């Protein structure tokens, strides 16, 4: 029987999650379902809680209210060992790669394999080269992280994130600060690797065009809640003011250009002078 991915099964479920940093609420009743095998993007302005969501899914933060389920398990109810077992099945690409600066490209990719398996060094060598080949950096294996570009760092980090063939890959701003070629390469890799590994991917980003081209579904987040969701075509056609402003990069709209404060005239003293 041929292998098929059943898209209706949710790998990640976020139910009514509230989260605050000290007194500053970030998520306010967030709901989200991410189906198995899909590439899903979470979009929104800077500071809207996108990265916080990834950290909640990875169990690095705990929600004040609500639940975060991954593969049927409530993440914040897992003990230390169970959480670490779950994380072995997740991969995460950090915004700037987060490569270990004291290890070479090869050793960075080999790191999770050496930590979690007892494989002989010859096999680790072959596996690492396969992963590096998948991201096009087999030839850069001897270089140190300080000797490679930002785009290459991101690709090495991607190879490291998929070293243990995870079921879920999370990307935190994978396109930030990349040139157009690197950006296209990363976008293409995210889609290809997800399909090749049979994994599920969550991309947190605010790069609209590159993301719409590769994802299956998009959630728009603003002020701690999902304000819009849909397939790329639905999002492009959306008339919702927030989505329209975001997709068309409009300066002013539901997300105001000016940070809230006193009226301008009062701030520069026109009120007093006029009276």
Partner 1 sequence: MNAAAKGIPDGLRVLGGWAINSVRRLGLASRFLWATLIQSGTSFRRFKLVTREMYFVGVYSLIIIIVSGLFVGFVLGLQGYNTLQKYASEQALGLLVALSLVRELGPVVTALLFAGRAGTALTAEIGLMKATEQLSAMEMMAVDPIARVVAPRFWAGVISMPILAAIFSIVGVFGGYFVGVVLIGVDEGAFWAQMQAGVDIFDDVLNGEIKSLVFGVTVTLIALFEGYDCYPTAEGVSSATTRTVVISSLAVLALDFVMTAFMVGGW
Contact residues toward partner 1 (CB under 8 A) are 58, 60, 84-88, 90-92, 94-96, 98-101, 111-112, 115-116, 157, 160
**CB nearer partner 1, residue 115 or residue 209:** 115
Name the minimum Å distance from CB 176 to partner 1.
Answer: 13
Give Cβ neighbours of residue 244 (< 8 Å, ≥ 6 apart). Answer: 238, 250, 253
**CB nearer partner 1, residue 30 or residue 86:** 86
How far is residue 182's CA from residue 173's CA, in Å, rounded to a whole number?
Answer: 14
Beta bridge partners of 172: 204
Which tokens is 206 given? Answer: 């605010």
Q: Which residues of 164-192 are buried (b: 16+ CB within 10 A; e: fewer)?
A: bebbbbbbbbbbeebeeebbebbbebbbe
**CB nearer partner 1, residue 50 or residue 160:** 160
- Residue by residue, DSSP assigns 69-110 as EETTEEGGGS-HHHHHHHHTTEEEE-TT----TTS-HHHHHH
φ, ψ for residue 28, nearest 5 deg: -130, 85
Name the minimum Å distance from CB 143 to partner 1.
Answer: 18
Name the minimum Å distance from CB 88 to partner 1.
Answer: 4
Length of the chain: 275
Name the minimum Å distance from CB 103 to partner 1.
Answer: 10
**CB nearer partner 1, residue 168 or residue 187:** 168
Name the minimum Å distance from CB 161 to partner 1.
Answer: 8
How far is residue 12's CA from residue 200's CA, in Å, rounded to a whole number?
Answer: 9
**CB nearer partner 1, residue 48 or residue 162:** 162
Name the minimum Å distance from CB 16 to partner 1.
Answer: 25
**CB nearer partner 1, residue 95 or residue 245:** 95
Q: Strands 10-21 and 24-35, how do they pair?
A: antiparallel
- Residue by residue, DSSP assigns 10-76 as EEEEEEEEEEEETTEEEEEEEEEEEETT-EEEEE--TTSSHHHHHHHHTTSS--SEEEEEETTEEGG
**CB nearer partner 1, residue 103 or residue 143:** 103
């Amino acid at each position: 029987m041929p292998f098929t991915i059943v898209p209706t099964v949710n790998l990640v479920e976020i139910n009514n999650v509230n989260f605050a940093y000290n007194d500053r609420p970030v998520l306010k009743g967030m709901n989200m379902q991410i189906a198995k095998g899909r590439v899903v993007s979470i979009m929104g302005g800077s500071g809207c809680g996108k990265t916080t969501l990834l950290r909640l899914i990875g169990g690095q933060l705990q929600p004040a209210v609500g639940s975060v389920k991954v593969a049927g398990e409530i993440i914040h109810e897992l003990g230390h060992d169970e959480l670490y077992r779950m994380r072995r099945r997740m991969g995460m690409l950090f915004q700037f790669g987060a490569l270990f600066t004291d290890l070479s490209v090869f050793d960075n990719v080999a790191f999770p394999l050496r930590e979690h398996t007892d494989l002989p060094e010859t096999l680790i060598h072959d596996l690492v080269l396969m992963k590096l080949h998948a991201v096009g950096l087999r030839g850069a294996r001897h270089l140190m992280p300080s000797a490679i570009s930002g785009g290459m760092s991101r690709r090495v980090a991607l190879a490291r994130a998929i070293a243990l063939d995870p079921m879920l890959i999370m990307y935190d701003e994978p396109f930030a600060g990349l040139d157009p070629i690197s950006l296209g390469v990363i976008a293409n890799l995210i889609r290809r690797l997800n399909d090749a590994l049979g994994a599920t991917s969550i991309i947190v980003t605010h790069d609209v065009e590159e993301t719409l081209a590769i994802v299956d579904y998009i959630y728009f987040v603003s002020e701690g809640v999902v304000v819009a969701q849909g397939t790329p075509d639905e999002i492009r056609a959306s008339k919702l003011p927030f989505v329209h402003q975001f997709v068309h990069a409009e300066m002013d709209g539901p997300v105001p250009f000016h940070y809230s404060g006193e009226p301008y005239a009062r701030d520069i003293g026109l009120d007093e002078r006029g009276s």
